[in-house]
Amino acid sequence: MFTIEQINAAHSKVKSGADFPAYIQDIKKLGVTYYETFVTDGHTDYLGEKNYKTSSPAKYDSLEIADDSNIEQFKTAIKAHQEGKTDYPTFCNDCAKYGIEKWAVDIKEMTCTYYDKSENEVMIEQIPN
């Protein structure tokens, strides 16, 4: 199965949200089928076939997630990130500020779903191939 080191190597090619679709293809080849990234500290739980799971360590100091989500502001922030106008730390800070607790990527369905603190789906995006 895949390792955090292999995933980190794939992620090292990502400079902005514009690089996200290529990253997804890279980790799909490694065998990742699903993952959840937690905005509070940036750790990610990766899943593969046969209930395989591995987790990355925290990437930064804890962020406080806003209690209420602001979907319109979040949409503006994610658009900027996908256009390469913001880096990953800025995007994570924006997620926290606008009430996004985590995102989940389903590689089989090629979707990325953003959740608030109450586990409500805030937004679902189709990932380009």
Question: Could you tell me the CATH number of the domain that includes residue 54?
Answer: 3.30.1810.10
3-state SS string over the chain?
CCCHHHHHHHHCCCCCHHHHHHHHHHHHHHCCCEEEEECCCCCEEEECHHHCEEECCCCCCCCCCCCCCCHHHHHHHHHHHHCCCCCHHHHHHHHHHCCCCEEEEECCCCEEEEECCCCCEEEEEECCC
Domain total for the chain? 1
- Average pLDDT for 103-119: 96
Whether the per-residue pLDDT at 17 is higher than 80: the answer is: no
pLDDT tens readout for residues 28-64: 999 999 999 999 999 999 999 999 999 999 999 999 9
- Predicted structure pTM score: 0.90
Examine the pLDDT at 73 and tell me if it is beyond 90.
yes
pLDDT for residue 18 is more than 90: no
pLDDT of residue 83: 86
User: pLDDT at position 61, please?
Assistant: 94
- How high is the pLDDT of residue 25? 93
User: Which domain, by its residues, includes 22?
Assistant: 4-126
